[in-house]
Amino acid sequence: MGKSNETFANEAKTRFDESVDKLDAATLSTLNQARHRALDGLHGRRSRWLTWAPAAGVTAAVVVAVMMASPSQVDTLPTELTDMEILLGEDSIEMLEDLEFYSLVGMLEEESDVG
C-alpha cells in the first residue's frame, strides 16, 4: 500500500507539473507583473528610508561645520599647556625671582634707546 501511495503521488505530481508547464503566456505575464508589483513594495520601503538619507547627510554636515567653526577643546588645549609649561618651567621661576632686575634692565635699555 505504501508503494502504491508513493506511485500515486508521483503520478499526480507529474500531471500537476504538466499543467504548470501548459500555463499560457498571458497568465505568465500577469504573474510576472504581480511579482514585480510585490517587489516594488520592497523599493517603496527602501525609498522611504532613502528619503531620510539626504536630510541625515545635511544634518551631519551642519554638525561637522559647526564643530569646525567654533574653537574646540582639541585646538585650545595645546596652547594652554604651552603657557603652563612656560610659567612652571624652572627657568621661568628663576626669571620671576629676578623680576626687579629684569625690569631695571628693560628701563635702562628704553632710556638708552630714547637718548
Partner 1 sequence: MNVESASFAVSWVSEQSTGTRALQKEQQLNRFLAEVERRALRIAEISVRDRDEALDLVQDAMIKLVGKYSDRDREEWPPLFYRILQNGVRDWHRRAAVRNRVMVWFGRATPDGEEYDAVAAAPDPFGRSPDEELSNDEAMISLEAAVHGLPARQREAFMLRTFEGLDVAGTAVAMGCSEGSVKTHYSRAIHSLRETLGEHYG
Q: In the window 50-79, what residues touch partner 1 (CB under 8 A)?
A: 53, 60, 64, 67-68
Q: Is 5 in the site for partner 1 (CB under 8 A)?
A: yes
Spatial distance between the Cα atoms of 48 and 50, rounded to a whole number of angstroms = 5
Residue that is written with C-alpha cell 506511485 in the block? 7
C-alpha pair distances (Å), 35 with each of 31, 32, 61, 96: 6, 5, 39, 85
Q: Taking the complex as a whole, how short is the minimal distance between the CB of residue 80 and partner 1, in angstroms? A: 20
Q: Which is nearer to partner 1, 13 or 81 (CB)?
A: 13
Any residues with CB less than 8 A from the CB of 86 and at least 6 apart, and which?
92
Contact set with partner 1 (CB under 8 A): 4-5, 7-9, 11-13, 15-16, 18-20, 22-23, 27-28, 30-32, 34-35, 37-39, 41-43, 45-46, 53, 60, 64, 67-68
